[in-house]
Amino acid sequence: MSLLRVYSLSKKFRTYGAMLPICLVLLVFVIIPLIVIFTRAIIIDGSLDFSLLIKTVTDANNIKTITNTLLLGVAVVICSTLLAMPLAFLTVRTQIANKKWLDIILMIPFMTPPYIASMGWILFTQRRGLFQQMLPATGEISEKFFSFWGIVLIMSLHLFPFILAIMKNALLNIGASLEESASVFGGKFFYRLRRVTLPLIGGNYALGALLVFIRAISEYGTPATLGKRIGFSVFVTEIHHNATISPINFGAAASLSSILILICMMVWFVQNHVTAKSTYTLVGGKGTRPLYVKLKGSKTIAAWIYIVVLLVIAVGIPYFAVAITSLIRLRGFGMMSGNYTTDHYINLFVDNPRASQAFRNSIFLAFFAATISAMLGTAVATIIHHTKSRSRKIFHVLGLMPDMLPNIVLVIGIMIFWNSIFHLVPLYNSIWIMVLAFVTLFLPITVQYVVSSYSQIGESLIWAGKVFGGQPAYIFRRITLPLLLRGIFVGWMMTFIISFRELVAASIISPPNTLVVSTFIMREFEQGSVSAGMAMAVVSVVFTTGSLVFINWFLLRGIDGMKS
Amino acid sequence: MCNKKSLPAILVFTLLLTGLTACIGQESVPTTPPVADPPATVAPTPAPTPPAPNQTPEDPDPAEANRFEGLTGVVYVYMPSPPALAEKLAEGFTDLTGVEVRTFIGTTGEILARLEAEAANPIADVVVLASWSDGLSLRAGGQLLSHTPNGAELLHPGLVDSQNTLFGMSASAVGVVYNTLMIPDLSSTHSTTWEQLADDDFRDELAFPCPERSGSASDFLSGFIFDKGESEGWATWETMAEYGMIVPGANAAALESVITGARSILVAGVDWNAYAAINRGEPINFFYPAEGTVVNPRPAMILQTSNNLENAKAFLDYMLTDEAQQMIADVHLIPGRSDVLSTTRPNFNEMTVLNTDWYWMMEHSTEISQRFNALMGTN
């Protein structure tokens, strides 16, 4: 009896012994920066004071900023939905579904950092830019791009793959039987669309729209480049301005951040409501048979024209502009024979110590951020998988929270917090504060991948291990971990790539003497040689794509080989 | 995805916690800039050692070699563009002393912001700004150490402030940059006054560097307003705003817009940047309007909070050596020392200047820059 109690106590102790440190880490990484922001916004000189917050909200400039941000978010959701909807239909319900390579190509816009795409568009459309040099007869029409809709287009082209992926999954789960039964009862195409398909994907769409909305209002790269040219300011650029341009005002940055968090909260409530109301069980024990429409003749051509035009706009134009600019010798003469050179690439690694240093810094940061968040994320996912009830939920939420909040908000919180405890923990102003920020921001990536890997491991495998006398540690090492490895590696890889080119955190908290690839590109674009910046952009895109392909081919094969 | 449901709950919890901390009181985040101390607490100035005349880098005087000996560690230097100059100075200083130089290169606005952000735990030892008035306001905030570096008496008169805290190691001025492919010869028609450029012919052709980022642009702007007076001064910018003047970014971005022809005229473009682009062969030209410009000394300063004081003092000494002054001339800046002359651009005494008052400009430049950007519709 007492032996049993000791056993259960030690088990309990083991569980909490593992949970407590992880819980503390999440508290320090995620919750405290948020508290610091709210504190900073409403506590002035040691007493509760809402005047700064109220002043911030009612300031005419900030009202403009708030409307700009919300308008942008809504417009991007609509525009990326319009871009994604035909594609989702084409790549699920027609013969185009067989073209698997299309799935990969359609991910390119999402993998392109928006600041690089935005710079490409600026170089392409500005006065006497690449477009006007190629087609002088068009006059000033390309300059129309320098507008609200230009920003919306760039951001939608970046974010539509999100909605596409979610809609595709939803459509795949709607079996032919549902539509066919509607059709048997005489439903015409649009009636079926309206009464069957759309309501069924509504819940998923609400989630996709929410993610796109939050990403759109959190995005820094496009408003900081194109937005700045036309005086279009949003929350993120305003916060960034308050935190980085003299006279700096952390109070205002914190107030704006608090408002941004509140907006995100409201959007979650709405989305939760919509999703809860329109969720249907579609995946049952019975397999579903996909519904195919065979496109014929002119319709096939129209479909392909749509896909090609979309790819040219989303991938072709920005990359063309970036690549050509990186090869131009004198910007004043533009595209002209004899005005091309590869010097900018050579200079990048021969003459320019800052460039090669930036590259090394980014690799260092990306490697450590990815490795630490792979470990931490796996730990969090393991806790989520093994614990029941309330604490599980809390971990899940904490693990995913950074993904649901604008990056800049957490970064400002991290900055203010670590700056204030510098005397205790001198992390601020070292490169490790950047590692910490990236781990915090990108932890959800690993958590998501590992949680989904866990859900694919059948209980029977664990039972089999137990039957053959395996201790829990042994079972974890020999059964669970090998099965998780794929998820962990994919998470690692994504974190590596995203950290490698992250911009907003790097531009706010990088210590002196520390440029990374993104800040180097931004700095050269704004304050140095645009061509050198674009050369670095090409190099970094080639590098990240290369490492993606490399890891996919070699490492993941190795892992899969280990399993069998 | 039932878990998303608890997200708001957690945030509400966070808000509650915030409220709790609020009740407990104490603001825990002291990142506000320090309260302005009266700048009276000035350390006694050490008597400058007499300079050895006619030093040359090839033949270093033993005394000169000595003052860079026995130093170790690091020095943090915050400097504005050009990056190449900051790198060369850092390299030269490290070669001479063995001290590692950690630089932060940014616009004047970014450097000032960085100093404010670091107020709780200062990092920088030496700060160089592209704006004399911003330097004066650091002094007014009690942030600067008074120390006269060796060789400071060789600086042009007016490049040392009254309290021996600011040393104009170099200087720049602003002028008009124009794209010669678009306007072949602006200098023969519009080079008398700045106001001439507020011309209906140049609708949607004008650009101006962001004064909140560029120190030279902000000093020019406040100097111009001081010289012309409030109403006449602002009238010029209001007309230009009406003609669609844009603010594409800090100096380089503004120059870039004229080089590529996105705009054809840059008002208040910084000169060294323009000379460098002309040297590269870009299709632009440059002039100073005849009525005068603002020559903007770029002060080097030691912070009171420096953690590497000896290295910081040595760095200022180094900036006054022949070697460093030549590096400054090489990037088309005006060397601060009166005995080092640039061969590629007008020197300090060859410039026509507007009537300026640095103290007035110090007081008003932030507000003027913000008003200007609001006028141009930039943030």
Domains and CATH numbers, chain A: 341-564 (1.10.3720.10)
Residue B199 domain boundaries:
172-295+360-376
State which residue of chain B sits closest to A335, comparing Cα positions. Answer: B260
The dihedral of CA B322, B324, B327, B332: what is its sign?
negative
Residue A486: the pLDDT is 84
Confidence of residue A513 (pLDDT cuts 50, 70, 90): confident
Confidence of residue A392 (pLDDT cuts 50, 70, 90): confident
The answer to whether the CB of B105 falls within 8 A of the CB of A519 is: no
State which residue of chain B sits closest to A203, comparing Cα positions. Answer: B1
Task: List, in order, residues 6 or more apart from B291 with CB less than 8 Å away.
Answer: B192, B193, B194, B352, B354
Find the helix or strand (DSSP H, E) in which A500 lies: helix A481-501
Over its length of 379 residues, how does chain B's per-residue pLDDT go in tens digits?
344 445 555 555 555 555 544 444 333 333 333 333 333 333 333 444 444 444 444 444 555 556 788 888 999 999 998 888 998 999 999 999 999 998 888 888 889 888 887 877 788 999 999 989 899 999 999 999 999 999 899 999 889 999 999 999 999 999 999 999 999 989 899 999 999 999 899 998 999 999 988 889 999 999 999 999 999 999 999 999 999 898 888 888 899 999 998 899 999 999 999 999 999 999 999 999 999 999 999 999 999 999 999 999 999 999 999 999 999 999 999 999 999 999 889 998 889 999 999 999 989 999 999 999 989 876 4
Residue A460: the pLDDT is 80
Q: How many domains does chain B have?
A: 2
For residues B250 and B364, membership in a common domain is answered with: yes
Q: How many CA atoms lie within 13 A of B368 on its CB side?
A: 25
Residue B55: the pLDDT is 43
Confidence of residue A534 (pLDDT cuts 50, 70, 90): very high
Which tokens hold the place of A77? 């959701």
For residues B116 and B252, membership in a common domain is answered with: no
A chain contacts of residue B103, beta-carbon cutoff 8 Å: 512-513
State which residue of chain A sits closest to B282, comparing Cα positions. Answer: A332
* Residue in B103, B113, B376 closest to A248 by CB: B113
Task: Please provide residue B4's backbone torsions phi and psi, each rounded to the nearest 5 degrees.
Answer: -60, -25
Cα distance between residue B40 and residue A226, in whole Å: 46
The answer to whether the CB of B211 falls within 8 A of the CB of B372 is: yes
For residues B221 and B187, membership in a common domain is answered with: yes
The average pLDDT across A535-562 equals 81
For chain A, the average pLDDT equals 84
B chain contacts of residue A44, beta-carbon cutoff 8 Å: 27
Position B200 in a domain: yes
Is residue A163 scored above 70 in pLDDT?
yes
Residue A3: the pLDDT is 54
Residue A7: the pLDDT is 54
A chain contacts of residue B217, beta-carbon cutoff 8 Å: none
* Residue in B30, B108, B212 closest to A420 by CB: B30
For residues B220 and B188, membership in a common domain is answered with: yes
Residue A447 Cα distances to A228, A378, A399, B309, angstroms: 35, 6, 7, 47
For residues B368 and B280, membership in a common domain is answered with: yes
Closest CA to A454 of A398, A389, A379, A394: A379
B22 to chain A, closest Cα gap in Å: 6
| Amino acid (one-letter) located at B276 | A
Counted across chains A and B, CB pairs separated by less than 8 A come out at 193
Cross-chain Cβ contact A38/B5 below 8 Å: no
Residue B59: the pLDDT is 46
- Collapsed DSSP state (helix, strand, coil) of residue A96: helix
For residues B330 and B313, membership in a common domain is answered with: yes
User: DSSP states of A156-211 as a string?
Assistant: HHHHHHHHHHHHHHHHHHS-HHHHHHHHHTT--HHHHIIIIIHHHHHHHHHHHHHH
For residues B255 and B319, membership in a common domain is answered with: no
B373 to chain A, closest Cα gap in Å: 10
**Is the Cβ of A241 closer than 8 Å to some Cβ of chain B?**
yes
Which tokens hold the place of A89? 């239909």
**Is the Cβ of A385 closer than 8 Å to some Cβ of chain B?**
no
Position B64 in a domain: no
Q: Which residues of A218-253 are buried (b: 16+ CB within 10 A; e: fewer)?
A: bbbbbbbbbbbbbebbbbbbbbbbbbbbbebbbbbb
Of residues B11 and A498, more confidence is placed in A498
Position B20 in a domain: no
For residues B366 and B228, membership in a common domain is answered with: yes
E-strand stretches of A356-442: none
Cross-chain Cβ contact A265/B8 below 8 Å: yes
B32 to chain A, closest Cα gap in Å: 8
pLDDT tens digits, A74-115? 999 999 999 998 888 888 888 877 777 888 888 888 888 999
Is residue A404 scored above 80 in pLDDT?
yes
State which residue of chain B sits closest to A415, comparing Cα positions. Answer: B117
- Helices B271-280 and B251-259 cross at an angle (nearest 10°) of 40
Residue B312: the pLDDT is 95
pLDDT tens digits, A330-365? 888 888 888 899 999 998 888 788 899 999 999 999
| Span of A15-19, A195-199, A308-312 with lowest mean pLDDT | A15-19
**Is the Cβ of A64 closer than 8 Å to some Cβ of chain B?**
no
| Amino acid (one-letter) located at A248 | I
Is the interface score ipTM higher than 0.85?
Answer: no
Closest CA to B264 of B179, B198, B188: B179
Residue A76: the pLDDT is 96
* Residue in B8, B251, B366 closest to A268 by CB: B8
For residues B167 and B310, membership in a common domain is answered with: yes
Residue A282: the pLDDT is 57
The dihedral of CA A142, A215, A430, A247: what is its sign?
positive
A496 to chain B, closest Cα gap in Å: 26
Is residue A147 scored above 70 in pLDDT?
yes
Position B164 in a domain: yes
The average pLDDT across A409-434 equals 87
Pairing of strands B295-302, B126-128: antiparallel
The 3-class SS string of A339-378 reads CECCHHHHHHHHCCHHHHHHHHHHHHHHHHHHHHHHHHHH
Residue B16: the pLDDT is 53
Position B2 in a domain: no
Say what percent of chain A tops pLDDT 90: 30
| Span of A188-202, A473-487, B27-41 with lowest mean pLDDT | B27-41
| Span of A13-17, A228-232, B312-316 with lowest mean pLDDT | A13-17
pLDDT tens digits, A260-296? 998 888 888 887 787 777 666 655 555 556 667 777 7
Measured between alpha carbons, how far apart are the two ends of chain A, in Å? 44
Of residues A19 and A333, more confidence is placed in A333
For residues B208 and B261, membership in a common domain is answered with: yes
List the CATH number of the domain containing B149.
Answer: 3.40.190.10
Residue A14: the pLDDT is 59
B320 to chain A, closest Cα gap in Å: 23
For residues B267 and B185, membership in a common domain is answered with: yes
Closest CA to B294 of B228, B221, B231, B208: B221
Closest CA to A25 of A390, A402, A388: A402
Q: How far is CA A258 from the centre of its chain?
A: 21
**Is the Cβ of A270 closer than 8 Å to some Cβ of chain B?**
no
For residues B229 and B369, membership in a common domain is answered with: yes
Q: Which residues of A316-345 are buried (b: 16+ CB within 10 A; e: fewer)?
A: ebbbebbebbbbbbbbbbbeeeeeeeeebb
**Bridge partners of residue B144, in order along the sequence:** B303
Say what percent of chain A tops pLDDT 70: 91
Residue B281: the pLDDT is 92
DSSP state, residue B35: P
Cross-chain Cβ contact A330/B281 below 8 Å: yes
Q: How far is CA B143 from the centre of its chain?
A: 17
Cross-chain Cβ contact B81/A527 below 8 Å: yes
Cross-chain Cβ contact A43/B83 below 8 Å: no
Position B12 in a domain: no
B chain contacts of residue A334, beta-carbon cutoff 8 Å: 260-261
The average pLDDT across A126-147 equals 87
